[in-house]
Amino acid sequence: MRTEKPDKNTVESPTVDCEALSAWCESHIDGFKGPVSLEKFTVGQSNPTYLLRARSGRYVLRRKPPGALLQSAHAVDREYRVMRALADTDIPVPRMHALCEDDDATGSMFFIMEYLDGRTFLDPALPELQPGQRRDLYEQQVRILAGLASLDPSAFGLSDYGKPGNYVSRQVSRWTRQYRATETGVIPEMEHLIEWLPENLPTDEGQVALVHGDFRLDNLLVHPARMEIIGVLDWELSTLGHPFVDFSYWSTMLRLPRDTHHKGLAGLDRSALGIPEERELIDLYRTLSGTEVPGDWPFWIAFHAFRFAAIVQGVMKRHLDGNASSAHAVEVGRMAGPVARLGWSAVTPHNE
């Protein structure tokens, strides 16, 4: 058994039957040798994720959380499928080892994937880096986003990974339902967005691409010694949708205020930090993807803010129900109001 020091981003996790898990892994993963130990990663809000140590090396286990869950949420089987499909593309993802679809080994569905030794940056201002490094990392993110938008899902066995077309309208309906199911108080700006968005949908919803669904800096792993993104993680919300979805979502997250759990760049001098301005990122994306950016930019900001507010509201509800995955659930859940206000403010001038 390895005797490595615990990872600084993990905590001990005794809630899984490690003996049963070890037996399952030995019978489903080539070269796997137990016994095993688990340490839960402290980052992540939705699907609990663990560092799995075994005699054969380090792995990552990701599973559905315990307790009553919303229908279609926490789809770890979809995460496994999409990352496995992307293994031979230019999109950096960890290698998938095995998927367990029953509850016997850990109490819920899970998959085992490659452990990537990398860094996670939580603050998009990247205070740990120099200006040139920040620019490099931002340009890499745009390259990955452009690459995702350019992939043909059918070429990788993903033509049935989601319903083709009408992504935005379906997402507005879905997240309105999810928000109502997890609502813990009235947020006026969410009420405005719920009414306004269906009446202002984009007209080019027939385009189809693979959508990550939660492309943010903290869902990326960066090489420990150089400025290279080695892993795009957390594909739980992935599906088929408009090719502009991921880039516009990423841009919206960068607009978040500085005083929330998921920090944005609002109020910062991007130029002084070496971080490209939003317009420059849009131009680079257009060049790399070979596609025009839709003209209804305020709509996309409002849409993504609405969607993210609904997501973090779900985190708050899970905290109140006692089955949140992260100790930071309260801080994340409190973002629902500020994010909804960000979205409504993007389109408020168009309603006057």
Mean per-residue pLDDT of the chain: 89
CA-based nearest residue to 74, from 48, 100, 95, 99 = 48
Is the Cα torsion angle 65, 252, 301, 329 positive or negative in sign? Answer: positive
Nearest to 213 by CA among 79, 68, 13, 350: 79
b/e burial code for range 36-62 (CB count within 10 A of at least 16 → b): bbbbbbebbbbbbbbbbbbebeebbbb
pLDDT for 48-79, tens place per residue? 899 999 999 999 999 987 654 445 556 899 99
CATH class of 10-114: alpha beta
Angle between helices 278-289 and 131-150 (to 10 degrees): 40
The answer, yes or no, to whether residue 28 has pLDDT greater than 90, is yes
123 phi and psi angles, rounded to 5 deg: -105, 115
Q: What percent of the chain has pLDDT over 90?
A: 70
Two domains, one topology: 10-114 and 131-351: no
Reported as a single tens digit per residue, the pLDDT across 307-316 is: 999 999 988 8
Between 261 and 118, the more confident residue is: 118
Across 274-291, average pLDDT: 95
Q: What does the domain layout of the chain look like in residue ranges? A: 10-114, 131-351
pLDDT given at position 33: 97
- Which residue has better confidence, 208 or 138? 138
pLDDT-based confidence at residue 11 (cuts at 50, 70, 90): very low
Of the listed ranges 125-129, 309-313, 332-336, the least confidently predicted one is 332-336
Q: State phi, psi for 10 to the nearest 5 degrees.
A: -125, 160
Quick one: average pLDDT of 319-331? 72
pLDDT over 50 at 2, yes or no:
no
CA distances from 66 to 108, 318, 321 (A): 7, 11, 11
Q: pLDDT at position 54, please?
A: 97
* Spatial distance between the Cα atoms of 168 and 319, rounded to a whole number of angstroms: 28
- The model's confidence at residue 199, banded by pLDDT at 50, 70 and 90, is very high
Q: How far apart are CA 158 and CA 81, in angstroms?
A: 9
Assign 153 a pLDDT band (cuts: 50, 70, 90). Answer: very high
Stretch 214-222: mean pLDDT: 95
**For the structural domain made of 131-351, what CATH number should be given?**
3.90.1200.10
Asked whether 326 and 262 are in contact (CB, 8 A), the reply is no
pLDDT band at 107 (very low <50, low <70, confident <90, very high): confident
Residues 53 and 4: beta-carbon distance below 8 Å? yes
Percent of the chain topping pLDDT 70:
90
Tell me the C-alpha distance between 204 and 216, whole Å. Answer: 25
Q: What whole-number distance in Å separates Cα of residue 331 and Cα of residue 316?
A: 8
**Distance between start and end Cα atoms, the chain:** 66
More confident residue, 163 or 129: 129
**Burial grade of 250 (CB within 10 A; 0-12, 13-18, 19 or more):** buried
- 219-243 average pLDDT score: 95
Is 352 a residue whose pLDDT tops 50?
no
* Interatomic CA distance for residues 294 and 154, integer angstroms: 24
pLDDT above 90: residue 203:
no
Nearest-angstrom CA–CA distance, 182 and 107: 24
